[in-house]
Chains A and B, each alone.
Chain A
Amino acid sequence: MGRYVIRRLLQMIPVFIGTTLLIFLMVNVMGDPTAALCGDKACDPATQAALREQFNLDKPLVQQYLIYLGNIFQGDFGTAFNGDSVADLMLRAYPVTIKLTFVAIVFEIVIGIGLGVITGLRRGKPIDTGVLVLTLVVISVPTFVTGLVAQLLFGMQWGIVKPSVAYEAPLAELILPGLVLASVSLAYVTRLTRTSVAENARSDYVRTAVAKGLPRRRIIWRHLLRNSLIPVVTFIGTDIGALMGGAIVTERIFNIRGVGYQLYQGILHQSSPTVVGFVTVLVIVFLLANLIVDLLYAVLDPRIRYA
């Protein structure tokens, strides 16, 4: 187990370097960022040269990347073009997004798995069909539409919640955005759980458990669900990374000052240190979430062992 984890962690290093290099190159392809710093006016050439020098943009791309990577290993994520420390921005943005992701994941687990189990056990019944149609609708509507409609209805028409989230991002105000963020994944989780439960409900071990006369609840919780959750856990695990990065739309609509919000501003200002820094951390989150999912397999299914 320990050796497996170490091996996985080592495997992350090339993935990490590869992804950061890719992002770094992509940001640089977008054009010279100093060209936009002076607005609709050309910076005078001397100032522009001084700015390039200040941000190391005058050096070859490879060298820029090495300098950047070197700084990251010393814990320095650089400064955005407006002088904000990127590490500072991350310290402020990540907790907010983690909170939002947490709310979304809770919805996915509670509602998604709950609905999945109910529909899986009542295949073909009206409730099953109803939920299937509903999930289809949710999956086919883009998040920004769901978000805007939810904001309009709950925030403006009915006045149940505030249309945007306050600066401190209290958990209570994150419920609606969390639900919006979770909506598509939630539908997938429902469908995945449903299929998995429906399949396993016909398996031999469940029939055995029923024959032994075990209480229904115990059969569902201990036997059926535990075996059905493996694909669902995989999905939710990888979804953590996707939700954190994908919150860009939701965070814009509800003005939540999280990762997506800072990332968007970074892209808008073409501040490469901000964009590369935030995405780098997202990559790490994604890799770690994947590792944890793999380790969770062993917990759910004792037959799986890592060496």
Chain B
Amino acid sequence: MRLGLRTGALAAALVLAVPWLASCGATATESGVVRAKWGDPQNPLEPANTNEVNGGKVLDMIFRGLKIYNPDTAEPEYAVAKSISSDDAQNFKVTLKDGWKFADGTKVTSQSFVDAWNYAAYLPNAQIGADFFGYIDGYDKLHPVKGKPSAKKLSGLKVVDDLHFTIKLNQKFSLFPDMLGYAAFSPLPKKFFTDHDEWLEKPFGNGPYAVTDYERGGRMKLRLNDQYNGTKPRNKGVDLLVYTDDNTAYTDVVAGQLDVTDAVPAEQLSNLHKDIDNRYINTPAGIIQTLMFPMYDKEWDTADALKVRRGISLAINREQITDKIFQKTRIPAKDWTSPVLRDEGGYNPDICGDRCEYNPKKAKQLIDEGGGFPGGKLVLSYNADTGNHKQWIDAICNSVNRVMGNSKACVGNPVGTFADFRTQIQSGKFSGPFRSGWQMDYPLIQNFLQPVYTTGAPSNDGKWSDKEFDALINKANADPDPKSAIKDFQDSERILAEQLPAIPLWYQNGTAVYGTRVHDVKLNPFSVPVFEEMTVDD
């Protein structure tokens, strides 16, 4: 018996030791490969079906569209397109560069674009980015508001030959070509259509990298795509590793287990680890956060309520909140766009001006003149599951309470999940302001205004409607001269400043920390690391 017990223990020890020994060496880092923090993408990795940063990161690496946004300036530049021209801001001629190929060696032709766009717009494919194709003629046939689609191809797209195709829009839109750098407009290889499931297993496109290994929900390995026609990346590949906790990712960067994380937790920012030195990035990104008013609620849509809205804007001490809570990773907002657009692109901090500045005296006066908060109390709604919104909502309430001299004037209303938050917004359940954020899809002033504030727009959650504003947006879109178009957009923005259907709070920066092994790390205006330009020591 004694002996039996001992042999048993020995056997158990051996069983324990075998996988232990076998695991040694399995975690060695590959030379020249960047290890970066990732999150599980929310939707399948199809170009028109991705609208969040994790899926977007991958699409950026494996696809190149007609245009690409300069990682430093956000300026749209030609990528696969040689030229896109138009005489009337409605009919566009696209010429492709010769020599672009997909990772499987097939050529990128006009058909690759047209097929991809038709697929994206076709309702039964349920692509969440379908509405980006709404400008193209014939969209309503593929994507009717009600009922079954009556066509499978956008009538506005015509293939001329392998390197030429034409686009006809259903309205004038001079800035349209600059929209085409957005990932939803990427070309798709034949295999995407003929062997969809297999393509999704290992997505590939015409970008600098190709997926070599994709372990769902855990890790994606990207290596160089040798068919790539652009400038070769300065590293040998990227391993994207899923982290469910931003703190762990940060800790791993400090310990040298991970090279880049672009999600630095706020609590770490106030006290960056001494090992990080200056390997910390904090650069503007095309994200603005606002407080949106429920304009569908009659109580908020009166002349008195306008005074209250103005008062609330003046009651928020943006400077203090961005300093203390966000550690300067956000900048107090002065308009409804983003500094990444730069002055040429339409950013203008004077538009909101002193309406967005802290002024406690005037704030109280305006709110009192307007008869106080509709419903007697200011209730700010937000989702509590992600993003640490509680902190700043509470800070805004404190700021308002101090202005009003009443510690119960403003309260936060947390909603359990983001989905529930969205459901309640869509069904118009909130009777007070709610948190709203906008991350640009493409760096155009139009993208900050039209989808959010025009009548019936998909992100016009407050259901605000103003004829003059709509007219100015249409006029701006139709203007064949982009420069004067931007002026029109800014004029429409002045109406926002007048009406305040949403109060600008702050512009969000992109933040990242990186390890000693990598160099030339930067974030593009979409707050995504520019992987192609990173170099790796070893």
Contact = CB atoms under 8 A, between A and B. Distances in A.
Interface of A: 30-33, 35-47, 50-51, 54, 81-85, 88-89, 92-93, 99, 106, 148, 151-152, 155-156, 159, 162-164, 166-168, 170-173, 251-255, 257, 261-262, 264-265, 268-270
Report which residue of B43, B52, B125, B252 has the largest number of chain A beta carbons within 10 angstroms of its beta carbon.
Answer: B43
17 contacts: A30-B419, A35-B426, A36-B418, A36-B419, A38-B458, A42-B422, A50-B124, A82-B41, A82-B43, A83-B43, A155-B255, A162-B257, A164-B251, A170-B20, A170-B27, A172-B23, A270-B419
Contact of A270 (B45, B247, B417): B417
Given A31-B419, A31-B423, A50-B123, A40 B436 contact: yes
Contact of A170 (B19, B45, B461): B19
Given A35-B423, A40-B439, A268-B385, 17 more contacts: A31-B423, A35-B420, A35-B426, A37-B43, A37-B128, A50-B124, A82-B44, A88-B216, A106-B16, A148-B247, A155-B251, A163-B257, A171-B20, A173-B27, A252-B248, A255-B252, A269-B40
Contacts of A89: 216-217
A106 B439 CA distance: 48
Interface in B208-250: 215-219, 241-245, 247-249
Contacts of B216: 84-85, 88-89, 92
A159 B200 CA distance: 39
Interface string B6-46: 00000000001001101110110000000000001111110
Nearest to B149: A46
B211 to A, nearest CB: 14
A81 B126 CA distance: 12
B512 interface: no
B466 interface: no
A81 B44 CA distance: 8
A168 B451 CA distance: 43
Given A46-B144, A88-B216, A265-B40, A255 B27 contact: no
B416 interface: yes
Given A47-B127, A92-B217, A164-B251, A82 B423 contact: no
Interface residues of B, number: 68
Given A47-B127, A170-B27, A269-B40, A42 B217 contact: no
Contacts of A254: 248
A261 B461 CA distance: 33
Contact of A51 (B126, B241, B385, B458): B126
Contacts of B241: 167, 255
A164 to B, nearest CB: 5
Contacts of B298: none
A171 B16 contact: yes
B456 to A, nearest CB: 10
A159 B27 CA distance: 17
B244 A252 contact: yes
Given A36-B417, A151-B251, A163-B251, A47 B23 contact: no
B341 interface: no
B128 A43 contact: yes
Nearest to B451: A41
A266 to B, nearest CB: 9
Contacts of A270: 417-419
Nearest to A262: B217
Report which residue of A40, A51, A82 has the largest number of chain B beta carbons within 10 angstroms of its beta carbon.
Answer: A40
Nearest to A257: B218
B248 A164 contact: yes
Interface string B55-87: 000000000000000000000000000000000
B417 A31 contact: yes
Report which residue of B23, B51, B126, B245 has the largest number of chain A beta carbons within 10 angstroms of its beta carbon.
Answer: B126
- Closest 10 pairs (CB-CB, A-B): A170-B23, A31-B420, A83-B44, A36-B419, A35-B422, A50-B126, A166-B27, A31-B419, A84-B216, A31-B423
Contacts of B245: 252-253, 255
Given A31-B419, A50-B124, A269 B42 contact: yes
A131 to B, nearest CB: 24
Given A40-B439, A51-B126, A33 B419 contact: yes
Given A168-B26, A253-B248, A54 B126 contact: yes
A168 B217 contact: no
Contacts of A261: 244
Nearest to B22: A170
B26 A42 contact: no
A269 B244 CA distance: 12
Contacts of B125: 50
A106 B423 CA distance: 46
A46 B143 contact: yes
Given A30-B420, A89-B216, A92-B217, A44 B244 contact: no
Nearest to B130: A47
B130 A40 contact: no
A47 B19 contact: no
B243 A255 contact: yes
Contacts of A264: 244
Contacts of B425: 42
Contacts of A170: 19-20, 22-24, 26-27
